[in-house]
Structure 1
Amino acid sequence: MSFQDQIRSLFVEEDRIPEEFRIEEIHQREYLCNGEMRKWDGPVSEVYSPVCIPTSEGLKRKLIGTYPLCTEAEAMDALAAAEAAYDNGRGEWPTMSVDNRIKSLEKFINKMQEQRALIVKLIMWEIGKSYGDSAKEFDRTVEYMIATIEALKDIDRQSSRFEIEEGVVAQVRRSPLGVVLCMGPFNYPLNETFTTLIPALIMGNTILFKPPKHGTLLHYPLLKAFQESFPKGVVNTVYGRGAVVTPGLMATGKINVLAFIGSSKVANDLKKRHPKVNRLRAVLSLDAKNAAIITKNADVKLAVSECLLGSLSFNGQRCTAIKIIYVHKDVADEFLKLMAEGIEKLKVGLPWDKDVKLTPLPEPHKPDYLKEVIEDAKANGASVINENGGTISESFVYPAVLYPVNDKMKVYREEQFGPVIPVVPFDSIDEPIDYQIDSPHGQQVSIFSNDAKEISSLIDPFVSLVSRVNINAQCQRGPDVFPFTGRKDSAEGTLSVHDALRSFSIRSLVATKMNDTNKQIINEIVNDNDSSFLSTKFIL
């Protein structure tokens, strides 16, 4: 049996799938707008899993459900609802006290946890993520929300006092910005979406939430939780083709914040459609082509271990993945040999298989694209150095290590976002530095060396080229308390538990001159609890 046939044989009949992981089709015919679960009788989009099922016509991606394919009209209704709920900052939600907004989010978290089993299963089936990683994504999202609550309490505590300078007394707090259009990515459809949606929400903004193209159904079980936890119009869903429903929303000029995780091309197009760009705040996590640099002084075994994780976790479909590797020629042979051996040990399978590391890809056209970049690299002088590298069977693509890669190849420039690992040999350390200087991306880099002076000579140039330098470790986002951002076309704004709260709010202050009349007014407002903003209430 050929290796391709071995991979094909992983796709089994439904009755051979473990019962606890089988899924019934979910046909969503409602969406959340203005506090109502509105019925939808129009066109729908079919959701096909990357998991294929044997049929009389060969292997076919399994249909797992459908969701509303709404139009610009429904998107505009959602915008109107969010606007009304915000009411120029006078709505119930933006004027609500911080402790009551926290209670609303805590209610949502409890309701969300009731849906854990179904959401984890939908992550697996919709995007092909392993059971372990799907469960981890759910749990990490809950942990993120709890950490966000604690961070907001901390910010509010620091703001619960008055400051006196030069005869002026003032209280400085953070206030919301308005209507937020929130769009998350398919690779972390729950976690990455909520790392913008939740901080935007808890700061008092109202939300238009468009689920990602792949990973849409998994949000359906949460719509009731949103409806029951927040005032009407605070959270509204936008379904439909992005090219149909989002340009019109931006063109109204009524979107105050664009929270988007995806490609810089789409982000640029959306921003340009806003008629008053200076009024638009953008919180963006975009393209990345993170490099790993293996110097001749590296612990090669450690570098291989970290690069395998960095380049192939969730099949390399992460913005923080290592997407190009520079290896010094003196250690290239050893590195490539160990990489090939390491890939061979990774288990290929379906999302519910125990210890699976390589799973099917959710994007239908991705296997063809990866085949194209592999063939292009081979035509320009590279070879696939690992056995069976680049083998494709339906939605599976077996990892391919390409070497030696040069600047004539697509994979040198383009973000492959999949299990293809380009390796570039170098003599001078200036070569990877020059690559980063010329790159349109600037998210992270990983440096592998046991020479402290060599590392220090690389830290200083790279901290001005990327936002995070990892020493003898893969590129990654976490821990969530660390700032997550990028330079150039890789990001706008900063996401971490604390930074995200700041990104979706603005510092506002109430100030007055220190005299007896004003002191009496301020004390009366505070003592009578007449203002949510002007308050010395301390949240424990």
Structure 2
Amino acid sequence: MITAIRDEKNRYRNLQNGQWVESRNDTYITIKSPIDDTVLGMVPAMSKEEVDMAIETAKKAQKQWRNVTTDEKAEILYRAADILLKYKEELAELMVREISKDRKSCYSEVERTADFIRFTADTGKNISGESIPGDSFPGGKNNKVSIVRREPLGVVLAISPFNYPVNLAASKIAPGLMAGNSIVLKPASQGCLCGLYLARAFQEAGVPAGVLNTVTGKGSEIGDYITTHKGIDFINFTGSTEVGAHISSITSMVPLLMELGGKDAAIVLEDADLELTASNIVAGGYSYSGQRCTAVKRILVVEEVADQLIEKILPKLEKLTMGNPLDRDVDIVPLISTNAADFVCELIADAKEKGAKLLFGGNREGNLIQPTLFDNVTTDMRLAWEEPFGPVLPIIRVKDKDEAIKLANESEYGLQSAVFTQNINNAFYVANKLEVGTVQVNNKTERGPDHFPFLGVKASGIGTQGIRYSIESMSRPKVTVINLSNN
């Protein structure tokens, strides 16, 4: 299927009004593999005029798409899910090369995305309106009835990240389509080949011309232009807090749905099952080299069990595998870029200089960084507060659960936290006081299942995702009041 979206020179095309079109100004961005720097392809560096065309096309197509029945939209989504699974091997192989993710996780992402799309179709078919009698309000009259149904917002700008280029693009496209919107997909440059492939699957499934369009290009050239474009009615963004805050600051009167950064804490109390805790911390902190918004990014452990927890964690770190995901499934893969690896090493160096105790790892080969664990991290160290997006975890010792809560809440982020305890009262005590969108009890921080609400507070996001919540976010109530005769 991939040959349909690129030419013989390995130049990829964009989906515009149902056609795969080349760069009009013959300007391209080269996409290289973070594994070995090999060239995977080139994508158009679209101009502002090309962005205008994509949005205008989407706006026109949405006027017809909004009138397509819910059942018809759902059938298209069911076919898209089937197509993804049909080409799972091809797409997973592309994903391994483009974002340096292990093959097993790539297969899992495609399968999870197919499930997401199907469940979105099911959910869309079960979202219904309501009628509200006027006499239910004090002083109201029984000759008024409010009919409430949901209306699409128009053109949704979907901006997806590199780390889940299929799943987090589909999590914007599928609910947006079911709500009756048209979509303009702007994938991250690294990951955009997978994003174009996903768009091809939706097109092959029968999404009408213009209802889904793709835009590739440099954020420095078209980023602000597209996010402030008067033709955009909604922005759904997943990425860094820095970029999310910038988008929020330059947009006006356009609703936003954003998943941003995190500094998710694993809070370990004195009565925790330490074997379970250690397994979850290692899985949550180091899978895909920690390049996940919901990765465990700091350990806040009560002093009296800190040494015992470390004894449980270290053997598990020794078993983690590192290397090239093209050769075999590995736990620790090269980071997405040299800049990303440089930043992680800055945090490691700062922690060392300020007296943190290096328990494991700390070495680097190219963009491949060993799984790294520090003890005795203090609040004057950058690693205590900054999101590394890499395989490094700080242990911060606390005297009790209240100090852990205090430190967790002092972060600018508020995506998720985990609490490990065998006391249900302690679990609820901690959960009720944490300033985050989700608290996991005796489990690593993670997204999903995808029909659960997913949100961040503070610098971690705006709005609520999750299949039904995303459909509702990308639609609005439309109220019709029927005034009945008094006769």
Q: Distance in 1 between matches of 2:231 and 2:196?
A: 26
Structure 1 residue ranges without an equivalent (≥5): 1-23, 53-60, 518-540
Residues 1:495 and 2:486 are matched in the alignment = no
Q: CA deviation at 1:359?
A: 1.6
Task: Call closer, same or farther: CA 1:175–1:399 in 2, change over 3 Å.
Answer: same
Q: Distance in 1 between matches of 2:200 and 2:276?
A: 47
Q: Distance in 2 between matches of 1:336 and 1:379?
A: 22
Q: Which residue number in structure 2 is paired with residue 479 of structure 1? A: 449
Q: Which residue number in structure 2 is paired with residue 133 of structure 1? A: 105
Task: Call closer, same or farther: CA 1:222–1:476 in 2, change over 3 Å.
Answer: closer
Q: CA deviation at 1:449?
A: 1.6
Q: Which residue number in structure 2 is paired with residue 192 of structure 1? A: 168
SS of the residue 1:144 aligns to = helix
Q: CA deviation at 1:323?
A: 0.4
Residues 1:282 and 2:256 are matched in the alignment = yes
SS of the residue 1:66 aligns to = strand
1:195-221 Cα deviation digits (max 9, x unpaired) = 122101221111111111211112333
Corresponding residue to 1:357 among 320, 325, 331: 331
The one-letter amino acid of 1:494's match is T
Residue pairs, 1:142-221, within 5 angstroms: 142-156=114-128, 159=129, 163-165=132-134, 166-221=142-197
Highest Rg: 1 or 2? 1
The one-letter amino acid of 1:467's match is G
Q: Which residue number in structure 2 is paired with residue 448 of structure 1? A: 420
Q: Which residue number in structure 2 is paired with residue 332 of structure 1? A: 306
1:23-68 Cα deviation digits (max 9, x unpaired) = x99823421112222222612212211222xxxxxxxx22222211
Segment drifting more, 310-319 vs 99-108: 99-108
Task: Call closer, same or farther: CA 1:266–1:514 in 2, change over 3 Å.
Answer: same
For the 8 Å contact 2:291–2:389, the answer to whether it is kept is yes
Corresponding residue to 1:257 among 228, 234, 254: 234
Residues 1:438 and 2:415 are matched in the alignment = no
Q: Distance in 2 between matches of 1:489 and 1:102?
A: 34
Q: Distance in 2 between matches of 1:143 and 1:452?
A: 33
SS of the residue 1:134 aligns to = helix
Q: Which residue number in structure 2 is paired with residue 306 of structure 1? A: 280
Q: Which residue number in structure 2 is paired with residue 80 of structure 1? A: 56
Segment drifting more, 130-139 vs 164-173: 164-173
Question: Normalization by structure 2: what TM-score?
Answer: 0.92
Q: Distance in 2 between matches of 1:436 and 1:164?
A: 46
Q: Distance in 1 between matches of 2:85 and 2:270?
A: 48
SS of the residue 2:464 aligns to = coil
Corresponding residue to 2:17 among 34, 38, 48: 34
For the 8 Å contact 2:81–2:113, the answer to whether it is kept is no
Residue pairs, 1:506-517, within 5 angstroms: 506-515=476-485
Q: Distance in 2 between matches of 1:479 and 1:123?
A: 22
Q: Distance in 2 between matches of 1:79 and 1:271?
A: 20
For the 8 Å contact 2:54–2:213, the answer to whether it is kept is yes
Question: Normalization by structure 1: what TM-score?
Answer: 0.83
Q: CA deviation at 1:299?
A: 1.6
For the 8 Å contact 2:82–2:114, the answer to whether it is kept is no
Q: CA deviation at 1:354?
A: 4.7
Q: CA deviation at 1:292?
A: 0.6
SS of the residue 1:469 aligns to = strand
The one-letter amino acid of 2:417's match is V
The one-letter amino acid of 1:498's match is R
- Percent identical pairs in the alignment equals 31
The one-letter amino acid of 1:51's match is I
For the 8 Å contact 2:189–2:216, the answer to whether it is kept is no
Q: Which residue number in structure 2 is paired with residue 49 of structure 1? A: 33
Residue pairs, 1:424-435, within 5 angstroms: 424-435=396-407
Residues 1:367 and 2:344 are matched in the alignment = no
Residues 1:268 and 2:245 are matched in the alignment = yes
The one-letter amino acid of 2:99's match is I
Q: CA deviation at 1:385?
A: 0.5
The one-letter amino acid of 1:179's match is V
Segment drifting more, 73-82 vs 100-109: 100-109
Q: CA deviation at 1:515?
A: 4.1
Aligned length: 472
For the 8 Å contact 2:22–2:44, the answer to whether it is kept is no
Q: Which residue number in structure 2 is paired with residue 536 of structure 1? A: none
For the 8 Å contact 2:236–2:256, the answer to whether it is kept is yes
SS of the residue 1:51 aligns to = coil
Q: Which residue number in structure 2 is paired with residue 537 of structure 1? A: none
* RMSD over aligned Cα atoms: 2.1
Q: Which residue number in structure 1 is paired with residue 373 of structure 2? A: 401
SS of the residue 1:27 aligns to = coil
Q: Which residue number in structure 1 is paired with residue 71 of structure 2? A: 99
For the 8 Å contact 1:182–1:259, the answer to whether it is kept is yes
The one-letter amino acid of 1:49's match is S
Segment drifting more, 106-115 vs 317-326: 106-115
For the 8 Å contact 1:75–1:239, the answer to whether it is kept is no
SS of the residue 1:411 aligns to = helix
For the 8 Å contact 1:183–1:193, the answer to whether it is kept is yes
Q: CA deviation at 1:78?
A: 0.9
For the 8 Å contact 2:257–2:462, the answer to whether it is kept is yes
The one-letter amino acid of 1:446's match is A
Q: Distance in 2 between matches of 1:127 and 1:333?
A: 36
Q: Distance in 2 between matches of 1:337 and 1:489?
A: 34
Task: Call closer, same or farther: CA 1:245–1:338 in 2, change over 3 Å.
Answer: same
Q: CA deviation at 1:84?
A: 2.1
Q: Distance in 2 between matches of 1:225 and 1:477?
A: 24
Q: Distance in 1 between matches of 2:285 and 2:230?
A: 40
Residue pairs, 1:65-76, within 5 angstroms: 65-76=41-52
SS of the residue 2:455 aligns to = coil
Q: Which residue number in structure 2 is paired with residue 19 of structure 1? A: none
Q: Distance in 2 between matches of 1:428 and 1:283?
A: 36
Q: Which residue number in structure 1 is paired with residue 89 of structure 2? A: 117
SS of the residue 2:317 aligns to = helix
Q: CA deviation at 1:286?
A: 0.4
Q: CA deviation at 1:506?
A: 0.6
Segment drifting more, 442-451 vs 429-438: 429-438
